[in-house]
Structure 1
Amino acid sequence: MKRRELREHIFELLFRIEFHDGDEMQEQMKMFFDDIEMTIIDVKDKIYIENKYMEIVSKLEEIDASINNIAEGWKTNRMGKVDLTIIRLAQYEMKYDEDVPVNVAINEAVELAKKFGQDESPAFVNGILAKLA
């Protein structure tokens, strides 16, 4: 599976955080993988998605604090759930994932915003990430 596809799956799994309590996420993760296994995901990709998801969740408080520090007039609790999830994923990649260059993380986040967000999402995501970079 290509990196872009893996990133989309991570985004979709992270998005569930907005609708479920932490204690429900284990079951949500199982249901998520049950759904995508129909597309024949290999074990290596499943482990990558799971690990990156868990790493992001473990840093969520710190990631949200950094977003709140730069987002003028837009704290994380006011952001659209899609945009926030994309920004969280990209901020994790920019700050903690040495395999992903900052410009790639931003570009991929904008692409996710085009695919999953509202009309204004790509510009909003780009603006927040540019400040974080």
Structure 2
Amino acid sequence: MKRRELREHIFELLFRVEFNSPEEMQEQVRLFFENLGEIEDKDRDYIKQKYAHIIEKLPEIDALLGEAAEGWKVSRMGKADLTILRLAVYEMKYDEDVPVGVAVNEAVELSKKFGGDESPVFINGILGKIGKAE
């Protein structure tokens, strides 16, 4: 599976966090992979591992988003945009295998597919502020 496809699956799994309790997420993860069908073990492991790392860093990621999104509370952001931002910030700050520019570009591409009309500009602006803060 290509990185873009893996990233999209991670987004889809992470998106469920907004609608399910932490206790329910174990079942949601199981259902996600059941519905995904046959995938290579290495891809399944990559998705699960990256999802778990993002969940672990969620408080730190949300704090960064709250600082960068002037006038926007994290709780008021669109669910798709928030999920895309969380994934991108994780990649920018904690995933050494993903260059910052790639994380931003991939987030904008995800926003074109899953977000609203204004999502690409919003996401690019937030990630630009976070990228400059490094």
**Fold-level match, TM-score > 0.5?**
yes
In structure 2, stretches of 5+ residues that fail to align are: none
Post-superposition shift, 1:75? 1.4
Distance 1:67 1:120 in 2: 17
Q: CA RMSD in A?
A: 0.5
Unaligned runs of 5+ in 1: none
Q: How far off its partner does 1:69 sit?
A: 1.0
Return structure 1 stretches of 4+ with deviation > 4 angstroms.
none
Report what 2:46 is aligned to: 48
Task: Determine whether 1:33 maps to 2:33.
Answer: yes
Partner of 2:115: 117
Matches of 2:12 and 2:31, distance apart in 1: 12
* Paired amino acid for 2:54: I
1:13: which partner in 2? Answer: 13
Q: TM-score under structure 2 normalisation?
A: 0.97
How far off its partner does 1:35 sit? 0.5
User: Whole-Å Cα distance in 2 between the matches of residues 17 and 104 of structure 1?
Assistant: 24
Local SS of the residue matching 1:99: coil
